[in-house]
Structure 1
């Protein structure tokens, strides 16, 4: 099998006028190879077995960032069950979510509003899968799909926290449902970052 360098030298021998172009292509191919091998841009903290960290030896899934990238909400199997976690990139640790993760039930598929105030997620805490909206300021979770028959999944919350979209099969096929939390719902805005 011919190496890349041998290939470019063969082209230069067969077509001397192409020598300069061949050398440029060879240099470019080396540069692309070197750049693609670097870890430039990755800021992920290392995996650790336990603790107030982003990655453990458990399965971590469904990451979603707040608007400015400070907060990262995700689902994890740590502590023996599927739960929702919130990571603060500025402080480099997990933030408490009192009242969100319920014992004996699964919390999964989270999304987060622009400033990190609201977290929407799927939970089975009331006997069936439902969509909940959790307010970090009040530590309260509201079930917005308790009256929907059928399954629900993959919730997404608008940046301002007013609208929630999710999938539901209540009509016999998977459809997109949009829920309006109302004009009186306190908004989540990037300029009002929570601590």
Structure 2
């Protein structure tokens, strides 16, 4: 190989190495794994809390459709003990103002039920037990008192409003007056 050719190969080799090193210094996050949003997993049905901090969605990251909650401010997933059940399929999440309450559809035995999860107490409860018909698309009010959903109780899809009652702890930001 000629002396000039060897120099060009070394030059381009060093230039390529420098470009690769500089590309590795890029500070913009590139989500390529299950630790961030937009991974290789199927993520769908997003819902945003009223304060814009929390994002809930359905994901198959654990092998079945489960609810995941992501803190947009801290850019990390939140642990939700007691929310997801390995034998159940979760769908249609909805968040209250600060993300304290999450309503969703859970399908455990072939029949959809509306469930409510309280992130403070880490407890889930079924809200649609008194409905013998099919239910779908629950949405929770910003303060967490009301849940609206669709029901086929009359043989067609109708809208129902469920009042959780005046004695529940409302989802209001800390320090805000309760109305």
Q: Give TM class, smaller chain.
A: 0.7 to 0.9
Distance 1:129 1:84 in 2: 15
Structure 2: runs of 5+ lacking an equivalent:
1-27
Higher helix share: 1
8 Å Cα contact 2:64-2:89 kept in structure 1: yes
Provide TM-score, normalisation by structure 1. Answer: 0.71
Deviation by residue 1:132-152 (Cα, 9 ceiling, x = unmatched): 110000001110101211211
Deviation by residue 1:23-76 (Cα, 9 ceiling, x = unmatched): xxxxxxxxxxxxxxxxxxxxx96442322x222212111111112211111111
- Give the ranges of 4+ consecutive aligned residues of structure 1 lying more than 3 Å apart after TM superposition: 44-47, 190-193
Structure 1: runs of 5+ lacking an equivalent:
1-43
Q: Does 1:61 align with 2:66?
A: no
Structure 1 residues 179 and 91, CA gap change in structure 2 (3 angstroms): same
8 Å Cα contact 2:115-2:124 kept in structure 1: yes
Q: Equivalent residues in 2 for 1:1-195 (5 A)?
A: 46-51=30-35, 53-125=36-108, 127-191=110-174
Provide TM-score, normalisation by structure 2. Answer: 0.78
Larger displacement relative to structure 2 (142-151 or 155-164): 142-151
Structure 1 residues 110 and 160, CA gap change in structure 2 (3 angstroms): same
Distance 2:74 2:123 in 1: 24
8 Å Cα contact 2:113-2:129 kept in structure 1: yes
Distance 2:70 2:148 in 1: 23
8 Å Cα contact 2:64-2:86 kept in structure 1: no
Distance 1:192 1:113 in 2: 17
Distance 1:72 1:45 in 2: 18
For 1:29, the equivalent position in structure 2 comes to none
